[in-house]
Amino acid sequence: MATPLDRLIHALAKLPGVGHKSATRLAFHLVRAPRNDVDELAAAVRGIKEGLQFCEECLVPSQTPRCAICDDLRRDRHQICVVEEPADLHAIEKSGAYHGLYHILHGALSPLDGIGPDALKVQELLARLQNSAVHEVILATNATVEGEATASYVANMLRVFEMSVTRLAGGLPVGAEVEYVDARTLALALEERRAL
């Protein structure tokens, strides 16, 4: 029979980036923490799924039927930036370099994990693009194997539309020194080199 401590360590260790060791440390912290703080955390965790809805346009988690970005009339409605997860939207917003709309796929293709095209919100994207004012779809999935496969798949599905389909540039990150860049990124930066 697992003790309450075992169950908490087990549950915490399922969080991304939390190993058994960190989970144990966190669990012991909670054992010692004031009752109020622990109850507050428990309630916050339980509450995260209640009342959670998604923007009916871009599918980002939202308290309202349409999210603040989709509702913002100053955003450029000619561009849709397609990302894997809500966290990617936040990263792009922080960059300040994008002023269009978004679409959250809620994942990336990963056959080994059983995530096929039907698990992604691609049909929802295609439906949005029908009779829309969108001129360009920017595929901003990760530069990982799964992200690249997802970008290819979505690009293929978008062929029926007459709009420009683009992909985030790959190459040297800002501040990178050639000497320390990994070989595959260097090969990509050479291959995709641009005219000056």
DSSP letters spanning 32-97: HS-HHHHHHHHHHHHHTSTT-EE-TTT--EESSSS-HHHH-TTSEEEEEEEESSHHHHHHHHHHT-
Pick from 123, 155, 141, 135: which is nearest to 77 by CA? 135
Query: Cβ(77)–Cβ(98) under 8 Å?
Result: no
5, 11, 91, 127: which one binds a copy of itself (CB under 8 A): 91
- Does the protein bind a copy of itself through residue 182 (CB under 8 A)? yes
Query: CA-CA distance, 59 to 95, in Å (whole number)?
Result: 21
Window 18-57: contact mask with a copy of itself (x via CB under 8 A):
----------------------------------------
Pick from 33, 13, 10: which is nearest to 22 by CA? 13
- Does the protein bind a copy of itself through residue 181 (CB under 8 A)? yes
- Does the protein bind a copy of itself through residue 174 (CB under 8 A)? yes
- How near is the Cβ of 25 to a copy of itself at its closest, in Å? 23
Number of residues that this document lists for the chain: 196
Query: Cβ(70)–Cβ(48) under 8 Å?
Result: no
- Does the protein bind a copy of itself through residue 107 (CB under 8 A)? no
83, 120, 129, 134: which one binds a copy of itself (CB under 8 A): 83
Query: CA-CA distance, 84 to 87, in Å (whole number)?
Result: 8
Q: Which is nearer to a copy of itself, 9 or 138 (CB)?
A: 138
- Does the protein bind a copy of itself through residue 160 (CB under 8 A)? no
- Does the protein bind a copy of itself through residue 185 (CB under 8 A)? yes
- How near is the Cβ of 92 to a copy of itself at its closest, in Å? 6
Q: Which is nearer to a copy of itself, 64 or 144 (CB)?
A: 144
Three-class SS state of 173:
coil
- Does the protein bind a copy of itself through residue 149 (CB under 8 A)? no
Chain residues in the site for a copy of itself (CB under 8 A): 83-85, 87-88, 90-92, 94-98, 138-144, 147, 151-152, 155, 164-196
